[in-house]
Amino acid sequence: MLTLYVKTGCPFCHKVLATGEELGISFEEKNIADDAVAAELVARGGKRQVPYLIDSERGVEMYESGDIDAYLQTTYPKQ
Structurally, the chain folds into a number of domains equal to 1
- Show the domain range for 68: 2-75
Output the domain CATH number for residue 25. 3.40.30.10
User: Is the distance from CB of 78 to CB of 23 less than 8 angstroms?
Assistant: yes
Residue 78 has pLDDT above 90, yes or no: no
Tens digit of pLDDT for each residue in 14-66? 999 999 999 999 999 999 999 999 999 999 999 999 999 999 999 999 999 99
pLDDT of amino acid 79: 66
**How would DSSP label each residue in 3-46?**
EEEE-TT-HHHHHHHHHHHHHT---EEEETTSHHHHHHHHHHHS
* Positive or negative torsion for Cα 18, 52, 59, 37: negative
- Average pLDDT of the residues in 3-10: 97
**Mean local confidence (pLDDT), 67-72:** 98
